Amino acid sequence: VSNGLGQSKYLSLKKPSFYPPNYLFGIAWSIIYLLYIYSWTQASNYTNINYIFLLNMFLNIFWCFSFFTLGNIMLALVVLFSLDVVLIIQIALMYKDNLLASLLLLPYLLWCCFASVLNYNILILNR
């Protein structure tokens, strides 16, 4: 277990050339969370769906903990791949009951797939 990245270690990590500017993360996550919350309110009538929303949030938080607190970029990548799979399942499960709720999660899935590519490249660049 590492003693975490900390801000100075994070800033000193080698990042791929396609790494977006830092301000974009705040904008993207604000939009994603608003869409996510609205999607959850649309799907909240379906009890089985609520569990996958909670699993999704757990994985999202666990990625942050793995990457930033533990500084374990490999574990963070595994968590992120798990989150990608959960999101695909979540969208598929919701699609049949609530098309809008499932479509609202597509930007989140795209962002998480992009984050997976970023995470992977950061891992490779910082070996």
The band of 38, judged by pLDDT with boundaries at 50, 70 and 90, is: very high
Q: What is the pLDDT of residues 47-66, one digit of tens each?
A: 678 889 999 999 999 999 99
Angle at 82 between CA 81 and CA 84, to 5 degrees: 65
Query: What is the torsional sign of CA 99, 100, 106, 112?
Result: negative
Stronger pLDDT, 113 or 94, i.e. the higher one = 113
Q: Given a cut of 80, is residue 7 above it in pLDDT?
A: no
Q: How many CB atoms lie within 10 A of CB 69?
A: 15
pLDDT in tens, 61-107: 999 999 999 999 999 999 999 999 999 999 998 888 889 999 999 99
Whether pTM > 0.95 for this model: the answer is no
- 15-24: average pLDDT: 94
The Cα-based distances of 80 to 36, 47, 61, 66, 115 in angstroms read 17, 25, 10, 10, 8
Q: Is 13 exposed, middle or buried (0-12, 13-18, 19+ CB in 10 A)?
A: middle
In contact, 13 and 112? CB cutoff 8 Å? no
Question: Alpha-carbon distance 81 to 69, whole Å?
Answer: 19
Q: What separation in angstroms does the CA of 84 have from each of 70, 95, 110?
A: 21, 16, 9
